[in-house]
Chains A and B, each alone.
Chain A
Amino acid sequence: MRPPSRVREMPILRVVARALVPVILLFGLYVQFHGDFGPGGGFQAGVIFAAGLIIFALTFGVEALRQVVSVVLTERLMAAGVLLYGAVGVLAMFLGGEFLNYTALDPLTTGHHGQHLGIIAIELGVGIAVAATIMRVYYAFVGRRPNGDGEPREPALGAEQGGGAS
């Protein structure tokens, strides 16, 4: 197992990562919200967003990322994303349509706006759930001890190098 501190001493990586991470996160949001006009959508956006945060963790240490997004928060967001998706469907039922019938979300006009609103809301749910799941998977991997036996340990790999947030 390579100690993460070696990575963190590389100035090129740090500078490039610092420049790239915000762009990646922004691109994730773009893919999320532009998904109904062009290629993209919740799943891809979630993966890109989580990938940006994971690059951040790889260069600056898991502890730094954990301060931004805790493990418990990823679990909550996973559930919240799914619930958002389901809630849109149930809301449509309350408004008189079938489950996930977005037309019912807009009873005033012909339903065109309902389709729009519905797809944006459920894709947001997908994006949140996917991003959180990928981060949780990452946390689960780095949380394991190198020799691989026993329970996942919550102070993750790299913690003994003392944080690393710059």
Chain B
Amino acid sequence: MIEKILVLEVVLPLLAAPVCVLVRHPRLCRLFSLGVVAVCFAIAVAVLLEVRGGGVISYQLGGWPPPLGIEYRVSTVNAYLLALVTAMALVVMSFDSRGGPPRVPEQRRHLYYAVFLLCISGLLGITITGDAFNIFVFLEISSLSSYILVSLGGHRRAVMSAFYYLVMGTIGGVFFMLGVGLLYQVTGTLNLRDIAARLEPSLDDRGTVLALALLVVGISIKLAVFPLHHWLPNAYSFAPPKVSAFLAATATKVSFYLLAMVLFTIFGAPFVFEELRLQAVLLPLSILAMFLASGAAIFQADLRRLLAYSSVAQIGYMTLGLSTANATGLAGGLVHLFNHAVMKGGLFLVVACLLYRVGSVHIDALAGIGRRMPFTSAALVIGGLSLIGVPGTVGFVSKWYLVSGVLERGWTAAAVLILLSSLLALVYVGKVVEAVYFRKPAETQPIDHVREAPLGMLAPAWVLAVAAVFFGLTTNWTYGVAREAAELLLAGGI
């Protein structure tokens, strides 16, 4: 049954968007999109259960058999990502932002939901499809809609950062497109499995190496790998808080999947990591990201910018797991996708609660807020502890497997550096917690009127905070799936 309706995962949100435009009623649109996302989540979970243990679901669009037609192909790797994206979309959608982003007037609010659904549909499409050009199309759908979402942030600089994001994202998209074009020239096909079967990568083949370079750089811009991350802090800190939560929890994760898929499935681990030795570039960049971005996070005065820089550092952990190219390390990177989505999504939802009640997330403005908003602040602390990697939270699970994978590879220095970078996380999280709980409120900014955030906001934030602890204690589901996905990727499958 599930293989008959696999396509609905993408088609439902894609068609729900124009329905929202026709309905034009903001509350109805919100409920409708929430329902659509819930159905997508249900499908994703069913798909994941179906493919676990090595199963594959293939769907031929329009009845055209691959490699000529477009094929949707789901194995454990992308079923994991589908479940992650839809779960985060569901939680963020259920967050009641009480009036939506400030720039959207009531009579145009339905368009906001339409764009949100398009973004979800694009991200799911990138993950589900088995066709290289189709990936590009969905990449553009998700990117264009996320530029719009970022620009709705209300602050004047939101538009500027959305434009900067657009320029960077378009350059990334063009690089990706050129890479796909070269691959098409070399192999004569666009079906991913067909490309992988026909491609015989070697260092003498300039076209293939150039294609790999273009694809890696293009995706790295979208993923915000360290020196290409400049769009991310502004985009995340000026976007509407709900949008930051959604993008932080999903967009970079999907890009990471894309990078892993290109490296392991299309080009294959032996070529990329033994002949070409990509880890010689990827490993230093990951470590630089961990230290420089965490260092930058320490000096941020605004909680959102702090979290955004922390995201860049966390992406460093993921690419570090990728560059080990062994099952433990790659599984560590993949499990960190889920774990980081849970904690950063939760933290950005907490930011949304704080913005709603306090009006600012400048760290000085949050002084003493722990007494006025105890539940919000507690969720903030759980998310923060998870960012550091305290045992009992999801952050610990990721770091455990990352360190194991790095040690398995024999990179002792890198393992030490992972642990040292956690100390930087301790500093920036400590700075926030210190302000929230131990500092007296500034006299210029009285906080006596501040009350606890409403339940519609608090509940989704707490769902993610509880998940951060729950999946920190039980790793069967998250690490189990990630390990299976990592082994599949290393074997060159998809």
Contact = CB atoms under 8 A, between A and B. Distances in A.
A123 to B, nearest CB: 14
Contacts of B22: 76, 79-80, 83
B388 to A, nearest CB: 44
Contacts of A104: 63
Contact of B19 (A78, A83, A102): A83
A101 B11 contact: no
B18 interface: yes
Secondary structure class of chain A's binding surface, majority of residues: helix
A59 interface: no
A90 B62 contact: no
Given A89-B11, A90-B11, A98-B7, A103 B63 contact: yes
A99 B18 contact: no
Contacts of B59: 98-99
Interface in A72-86: 75-76, 78-80, 82-83, 86
B15 interface: yes
B63 A79 contact: no
B60 A98 contact: yes
8 contacts: A76-B21, A86-B11, A86-B14, A86-B18, A93-B7, A98-B63, A99-B11, A99-B62
Contacts of A78: 18, 21
Interface in A35-94: 75-76, 78-80, 82-83, 86-87, 89-90, 93
Interface string B15-29: 101110110000000
A86 B18 CA distance: 10
Contacts of A87: 15
Nearest to A75: B21
A103 B63 CA distance: 9
B62 A79 contact: no
A83 B4 CA distance: 21
Contact of A100 (B4, B17, B21, B62): B62
Interface of A: 75-76, 78-80, 82-83, 86-87, 89-90, 93, 97-104
Contacts of B60: 98
B63 A101 contact: yes
Given A82-B15, A83-B22, A101-B62, 4 more contacts: A78-B21, A82-B17, A93-B5, A100-B61
Q: Which 8 A-B pairs have the closest CB atoms?
A: A79-B18, A101-B63, A79-B21, A100-B62, A86-B15, A99-B7, A82-B18, A98-B63
A87 B61 CA distance: 15
A104 B64 CA distance: 13
Interface residues of B, number: 16
Interface of B is mostly: helix
Nearest to A81: B18
Interface of B: 4-5, 7, 11, 14-15, 17-19, 21-22, 59-63
A75 B110 CA distance: 12
Nearest to A151: B105
A93 B8 CA distance: 10
Contacts of A76: 21-22
A78 B140 CA distance: 19
A63 B17 CA distance: 29
A103 B62 CA distance: 9
Nearest to A84: B18
Contacts of A93: 4-5, 7
Of A78, A80, A100, A103, which is in contact with the most chain B CB atoms at under 10 Å from its CB?
Answer: A100
Contacts of A83: 15, 18-19, 22
B19 A79 contact: yes
A28 to B, nearest CB: 22
A100 B64 CA distance: 10
B15 A99 contact: no
A143 to B, nearest CB: 14
Residue among A78, A79, A93, A104 with max Cβ neighbours from chain B (10 Å) = A79
A78 B17 CA distance: 11
A102 B62 contact: yes
A101 B63 CA distance: 5
A104 B18 CA distance: 25
A80 B62 contact: no
Contacts of A82: 15, 17-18
A75 B15 CA distance: 15
B335 to A, nearest CB: 32
A72 B334 CA distance: 45
Contacts of A80: 18, 22
A89 B12 CA distance: 11
Nearest to B22: A79
A116 B88 CA distance: 41
A131 to B, nearest CB: 15
A99 to B, nearest CB: 4
Nearest to B20: A79
Nearest to A98: B63
Contacts of B61: 98-100
